[in-house]
Structure 1
């Protein structure tokens, strides 16, 4: 299924976080694959400079996708709080964004018809109206998290106490009921915070959009569209949108170094039995405390299961934003004394980065211990790899609930009263996933989701049809 009508021009904007930019770039590639007559220009705000990983990703773009980086906002002039930092950077970039849009509208040889906006850059929705563009929110997260954001103005009126203190399960349209304590803590755990005020202001602005695009697919989250149909006319589930194997990179390592490390990792996997390796990675935006690194290392060793662990230097807080991998620190020095020697036949520890989609799609990989970032979650589902969920920040608790309680394709790590997962608990959940009685059922369910993901992206699949319908709606604005 493809649309080959008269050319139209789409503008896309995001926020200066790699995971958001990566997701929307991959979405654009998928959009023009289905709607071949489209041209896309991405306009990205920057803090200090463009993100190196984004620049690397842009190297492989087709000619019909261009990217403009707005004049950088100096980090030293922004608040230290990351939420405020992003909000201020995007707000301060809006005059430049308007100027770029004005320039595009006067110079483009194809008519501008639509603007696609990250939820955290939704100030651009007001600008879209001035240019008579259709506007859409692109959520690079689950339908469950999307629904929470869409429902927040109503929730704000319905519940007066802190969400985390609400004694009953909270019902969000199209989702299984969850506790308020599992809402994204940065924005939702303190209703008196500036972060909550910001997210509430943003969600109140969502009504300006003509539609919602979600990086999920019908086969894993079927209830969102029916639940919201009476409130939002156009909802498009277009996922799974993930990086393909050849483009899999989330760091700023040099190409030659990256290629060498990737080849060494794949070679190591080649010699392992099918489904025998537990892949351990917490993404590009978070680190563990020194205490937690010690417990995880000893838990991996105690489990007796083979592992491949991507390790970063320790921190006592989760780092939100682009994590630089260009420093000279060697994370392996933070491992317990003697660990590498004792486990040299059991596992492999690599510093900072690994080719994640290649690893997940390798026949030797049988499990994924993950922070439950949505990109990683989708990559694991597409590869058919069961998960151990270890949420750290953002919407990851909600993703963990979706995976372990609704879809039942993963097991949860339990934390003690100090928020630390202890070695015995880690060893137990690893063994349960890799060789336990529950593994058979989890494998069957993840295979169903893998087939569903493949089907959604097929020529007549649900997500392909959604992208075609989205293209038709946007293209219709060019005929007005």
Structure 2
């Protein structure tokens, strides 16, 4: 009988998809995989439920179980469907008994191990009660995770809070100087606030209760922090860190088998463009990537002035921000065409394409015509850019994306920063200049060379005797040993 691993993914596209890539690897290595799902139907934003449905239908060898829905307080979700941290933690907590019942239902064969998302760490208590070894899956990079794990131990009582530090840098082993202002927003709240304490608690529980950490990165991409975490001196006197396994990149692959009739129309346009000639702009799968009308117009002007071919995925802001402007519809679903500068779409037809809401990002990045990627720095997108060998322009929006940007620019050398994000507006002039830099200059060629080297490193990591394949083998060995001695 196959050993059964239960995966408990986070309730967000960026957390769910990499764990489903992990599911594939476990199945390929002979394990049975069951996925416990918190029902995504409560979300007002449709991207996550649609993603879950697509993945469930595509993985017949994986057992998916939707946990019973629980009653949620009205304030659990924000208006746009994104969860605040406290609401998310409450959601996971309310599902613990449902998860417990599901694990119990798998008797007599039982559960070999439980792997939970890094923000769902309270679910490890469920595994502990049932004597099931629990591991944590972190869908992002090791650098941001190392910061997350160390924050509770690096600010002594009486020292300025992270909030008070502002842009002053944190100096952590194996990492470039990280401005305190770039941390997760919850760490920048008042230290006595409920959300700050909750985030610190999640960090401590990650560090103390997991049997090990699976991280969606590969060693040659982040060698300094890998070595630093292996050195006990990086823990600042805190508890010894559980083993960590760099098993990335876990990303979806370009669908080269897709029937041409099913291909998105933007791919047919890319087919007609010269190699490495197109700038691709896309800002993630959630509503957080919706820019203001003013920002959309700056992007449009900058793209047009740059003279570069472009493929731009646009989401309209949910409401009008200028009631005196009659050029657009102030309903929730605005007309994107009317939000852009007059005549922009007509003038750029041919060298440019505007796609509303969604494009097949992985397929676009792997297309020979794509030459640069303007990204919000979500880690899935970063890995997709790396594995496609495309240099990037960083425009962070939220979560760990500011930290990712520092790592991409300062440590990995694969991107340039759109500095205007700090003021809340990237000007047309900056966008034009940065796009030209990446597409036309020697500095851009150097970026491309470095990202190409990391692309090759990503492929090597999962090759025979590669670092990620070896780390995955260590994980399976440690997991089997821990399960057998319980």
Q: What is the TM-score normalised by the length of structure 2?
A: 0.87
Give matches, 1:188-203, under 5 Å: 188-203=188-203
Could you say which residue in structure 2 is the equivalent of 1:450?
455
Check the 8 A contact 2:176/2:406 in 1, yes or no. no
Q: Secondary structure at the match of 1:245?
A: coil
Which of 8, 11, 14 aligns to 1:13? It is: 8
Change over 3 Å in CA distance of 1:460–1:405 after alignment to 2:
same
- What's the CA shift for 1:154? 0.4
Distance 2:212 2:402 in 1: 26
Deviates more, 1:301-310 or 1:172-181: 172-181
Could you say which residue in structure 1 is the equivalent of 2:237?
none
Does residue 1:314 correspond to 2:317, yes or no? yes
Deviations 1:248-285 (A, max 9, x none): 9xxxxxx99xx867341111011111100001000112
What is the aligned length? 452
Could you say which residue in structure 1 is the equivalent of 2:329?
none
Give matches, 1:364-443, under 5 Å: 364-415=369-420, 418-443=423-448
Give matches, 1:123-142, under 5 Å: 123-142=122-141
- What's the CA shift for 1:376? 0.3
Change over 3 Å in CA distance of 1:328–1:126 after alignment to 2:
same
Distance 1:162 1:47 in 2: 36
Check the 8 A contact 1:170/1:178 in 2, yes or no. yes
Deviations 1:333-380 (A, max 9, x none): 322221100111220001111111111111100000000000000000
Distance 1:456 1:394 in 2: 27
Check the 8 A contact 1:293/1:314 in 2, yes or no. no
Distance 1:350 1:137 in 2: 37
Could you say which residue in structure 2 is the equivalent of 1:3?
none
Change over 3 Å in CA distance of 1:417–1:471 after alignment to 2:
closer
Could you say which residue in structure 1 is the equivalent of 2:254?
245
Could you say which residue in structure 2 is the equivalent of 1:337?
342
Could you say which residue in structure 2 is the equivalent of 1:96?
98
- What's the CA shift for 1:330? 4.5
Check the 8 A contact 1:139/1:212 in 2, yes or no. yes
Give matches, 1:2-151, under 5 Å: 7-33=2-28, 35-36=29-30, 38-49=31-42, 51-63=49-61, 65-73=62-70, 77-81=74-78, 82-83=83-84, 84-104=86-106, 106-107=107-108, 109=109, 111-151=110-150
Q: Which runs of 5+ in 2 are unaligned?
A: 43-47, 233-239, 321-331
Q: Secondary structure at the match of 1:411?
A: strand
- What's the CA shift for 1:218? 0.1
Change over 3 Å in CA distance of 1:158–1:467 after alignment to 2:
farther
Deviates more, 1:184-193 or 1:401-410: 184-193
- What's the CA shift for 1:458? 0.9
Q: Secondary structure at the match of 1:275?
A: coil
Could you say which residue in structure 2 is the equivalent of 1:217?
218
Does residue 1:180 correspond to 2:175, yes or no? no
Deviations 1:192-227 (A, max 9, x none): 443222111111212011111100110111233432
- Computed over aligned residues only, the root mean square deviation of the Cα atoms, in angstroms, reads 2.4
Deviates more, 1:453-462 or 1:378-387: 453-462
Distance 1:155 1:284 in 2: 34
Change over 3 Å in CA distance of 1:60–1:304 after alignment to 2:
same
Q: Secondary structure at the match of 2:219?
A: coil
Q: Secondary structure at the match of 1:452?
A: helix
Change over 3 Å in CA distance of 1:8–1:247 after alignment to 2:
farther
Higher relative contact order (Cα pairs below 8 Å, separated by 6+ residues): 1
Q: What is the TM-score normalised by the length of structure 1?
A: 0.88
- What's the CA shift for 1:417? 7.1
Could you say which residue in structure 2 is the equivalent of 1:298?
301
Deviations 1:100-128 (A, max 9, x none): 11112x15x4x422111111111111111
Change over 3 Å in CA distance of 1:460–1:406 after alignment to 2:
same
Change over 3 Å in CA distance of 1:348–1:99 after alignment to 2:
same
- What's the CA shift for 1:474? 1.5
Deviations 1:274-331 (A, max 9, x none): 10000100011221111111111111111110000111112589xxxxxxxxx96553
Check the 8 A contact 2:189/2:195 in 1, yes or no. no
Change over 3 Å in CA distance of 1:198–1:471 after alignment to 2:
same
Q: Which runs of 5+ in 1 are unaligned?
A: 1-5, 249-254, 318-326
Could you say which residue in structure 2 is the equivalent of 1:232?
241
Change over 3 Å in CA distance of 1:417–1:222 after alignment to 2:
closer
Q: Secondary structure at the match of 1:41?
A: strand
